[in-house]
Amino acid sequence: MSITHEALLCNRPILIGDSVLALIGNGRLRYSMIVTFRSDNVLGCTTGAWRVWSLSDGYIEMPADLLHGPRNKPVPQVAQAGALRLSVNCFALAGPGVDGILIDSGGGGWASTTGRLERTLAEASIDPASITVLALTHAHQDHVYGLLTRDDRVLFPNLKAIVIAEEAVESFLAETDLARFRSILKPVRNGDQVAKRLRAVALPGHAPGHIGYAFDTNEARFLFFGDIVHVPALQFGNPALSWGYDDDQAIARATRQKVFRDAAEAGTWIAGAHLGWPGIGRVMREDGAYGYEPA
């Protein structure tokens, strides 16, 4: 049986320290973002002179016993469900002097249930040829294989740079099909500016070189991330719940708790690869834990 999130409820050391708060902001902001288009696959938004899109690449199903409690053991009530359905989301940005940025590319042909991105881009009226920068959160297959179509065609023919954390380069190049992109890899470190108003943020714990991207339009702030949240229906209420594929579950747990706290305090929109559709929302303090409100 497979259940969705909704059904559940209805190298160089990287220090997290104060870096997330410093990069996503430490002042309370208005949530100044307007949704201009919404479908099952595309969420289009504006914030000031900028446009932000959430783009579905499909979903993946994972064993429910991958959700672990504080002792890194499966959560019995969840494990009995059999399978969890995780959204696979990508994000695009465009604004003054900045066009063609995509954050993560989804799973492409890696899984039978991913590979929707090309159709989703068309629905959003985004030409794949306009994408010149791909900013990766890490090098796991469900985030990188959207670079290629099922027939091994490069989806983004004018891609000039693939931004990736230094620590994730080795994992990326270990994927034989992706070695062709070696010459355009652009390794970054925590705090590096990736593009106008977009900076890399270290989010350790899940995988080598797992990073997010802080984006500030002056009207609103965003944090784009990969695998901070896998089961939003449960992990906002209990951030201590971790994921079996996290390299270091204790560090990943601390990172998640800090991201939630900082986003709630700073009024930052979060945009996650595995947040339930539409993949963008707000974090709020709620009864000693956190609540989540989708855009």
The string of pLDDT tens digits covering residues 77-99 is: 787 777 899 999 999 999 998 88
- pLDDT above 50 for 18: no
| Predicted TM-score (pTM) of this structure | 0.89
- pLDDT above 60 for 259: yes
pLDDT-derived band of residue 286, with 50, 70 and 90 as boundaries?
Answer: confident
Pick the CATH number of 2-294 from 3.30.342.10, 3.30.1300.10, 3.60.15.10, 3.65.10.10: 3.60.15.10
- pLDDT above 70 for 26: no
Map the chain to HEC letters. Answer: CEECHHHHHCCCCCCCCCHHHHHHCCCCCCCCCEEEEECCCEEEEEECCEEEEEEEEEEEEEEHHHEECCCCCECHHHHCCCEEEEEEEEEEEEECCEEEEEECCCCHHHCCCECCHHHHHHHCCCCHHHCCEEECCCCCHHHHHHHECCCCCECCCCCCEEEEEHHHHHHHHHCHHHHHHHHHEEEECCCCEEECCEEEEECCCCCCCCEEEEEECCCCEEEEECCCCCCHHHHCCCCCCEECCCCCHHHHHHHHHHHHHHHHHHCEEEEECCCCCCCEEEEEEECCEEEEEEC
- pLDDT above 80 for 118: yes
125-183 pLDDT tens trace: 999 999 999 999 999 999 999 999 999 999 999 999 999 999 999 999 999 999 999 99
- pLDDT above 60 for 2: no
So where are the chain's domains?
Answer: 2-294
